[in-house]
Amino acid sequence: MIAWILRLLIEGLMIIAPTETIEQRNGPSPAQTKSALPHCPVMPEREVDPDIFLDWRGRRVFFCCEPCKQKFEETPEKFAAALARYQPAERDRLASTRRYEIANDREYGGPLSENQWDHSDPISRSTSWFGKLHPVTLHLPIGALFAGALAEFLYARRKKVIYDHAARYCLWFAMISGLVTATLGWCLGGFRWNDSNWILALHRWLGTATAILLVVLVISGERMNKRGGARFAYRFLLASTTLIIFAAGFFGGAMVWGIDHLSGGDFSRVAQCARSDDLPPIESR
């Protein structure tokens, strides 16, 4: 019985094990090498001319003819998805550096990279490393604040003390994690008052304002629970802080996906660039 099971396992591994193909052993055929030329993003049915190109957003784009090059220069965003599809060696880089491209667009005021630390000394390197934890921790205050707002809403509707306790616990957690997240955000973006990139500036100060409001919210809530009184002002502050933290999250997403990421514009384009299962086997020169 054991021998039969071992034999079955060995045969199964032999079936699913990758085998070397003729192309892998002997290399690509001449026809495959010819088809490896990138295709023009304006006229995808035509292969590019290596002598006709331009540099766009930090990369070199090739075209089949001068008229296609002129069309691309007039409306480059129109052909961005086709560019990633028919010159796919740049596809992954286009998706991974979308933040860089958006940040350097004139519409957004300037590059995000200028706000980073100088890594020439150990303190700057350590500060920059801690700043990389900002994207990891930022979800904690958002979720805790939303849960606290929901618990406070249930307490207002049902008057059960357990909801009040849950709201206080969530807001304490949101305040602590919010202070940590805001500090890490400053470590990531650099300790500066002004940013040439207005999206980064809004994200920075909305996040900082959220951390400060969370402290005020917790202090006012604890005083209210000790002294009693109406909760209208407290709930108004809670609702305002919740809206502000969502606005900070929106502009944080805009730094990665673009200002219209909720409408699907830039996000769908990057998602299309990131897919590789439906792309032809074409490599860029």
**pLDDT tens string 171-217:** 999 999 999 999 999 998 888 888 878 888 999 999 999 999 999 99
Highest mean pLDDT among 4-8, 51-55, 188-192, 242-246: 242-246
Q: Which percentage of the chain shows pLDDT scores above 70?
A: 67
The pLDDT of residue 256: 78
Average pLDDT over residues 8-15: 50
> Which residues, including other chains, have CB under 8 Å from residue 260's CB and lie 6 or more apart?
266
Higher pLDDT, 205 or 285: 205
Helix (H) or strand (E) run with residue 56 in it: strand 49-56
Predicted local confidence at residue 144, as pLDDT:
96
Q: Which residues of 190-213 are buried (b: 16+ CB within 10 A; e: fewer)?
A: beeeebebebbbbbbebbbbbbeb
pLDDT computed for residue 257 by the predictor: 79
Q: What does the alpha-carbon distance between residue 175 and residue 162 come to, in Å, rounded to a whole number?
A: 20
Query: How many C-beta atoms lie closer than 10 Å to residue 170's C-beta?
Result: 20
What confidence score (pLDDT) does residue 22 get?
39
Confidence bin at 280 (pLDDT 50/70/90):
very low
8-state DSSP, 197:
S
Confidence of residue 27 (pLDDT cuts 50, 70, 90): very low
Q: What are phi and psi of 196, to 5 degrees?
A: -70, -30
Which residues 6+ apart lie within 8 Å of 89 measured at CB? 38, 283, 284
**Residues 86-103 pLDDT 10s:** 666 544 444 444 444 444
pLDDT-based confidence at 270, cuts 50/70/90? very low
The confidence score (pLDDT) of residue 116 equals 52
Structural contact between residues 99 and 111, judged by C-beta atoms closer than 8 angstroms: no
Q: Where are the domains of the chain?
A: 25-109, 122-261
Q: Considering only CA atoms, which of 162, 37, 155, 51 is closest in space to residue 88?
A: 37
| pTM to 2 decimal places | 0.57
**Which pLDDT score, from 0 to 100, does residue 226 have?**
87
The residue with greater pLDDT, 225 or 214, is 214
- List, as one string, the DSSP characters of 229-268: ---HHHHHHHHHHHHHHHHHHHHHHHHHH-TTGGGTHHHH
Q: Are residues 88 and 283 in contact, defined by beta-carbon separation less than 8 angstroms? A: yes
Quick: pLDDT tens for 32-69. 333 345 788 888 888 888 888 888 877 788 888 888 88
- Joined together, the tokens standing for residue 237 give 């502050």
Q: Name the token pair of 114.
A: 């200028």
Q: Is the pLDDT of residue 282 over 50?
A: no
pLDDT the model gives residue 193: 86
DSSP bridge pairs for 54: 61
Give me the architecture of the 122-261 domain, per CATH. Answer: Up-down Bundle (1.20)
Share of the chain above pLDDT 90, in %: 33
**Close Cβ partners of 239 (under 8 Å, ≥ 6 residues apart):** 149
Q: What is the mean pLDDT of the chain?
A: 75
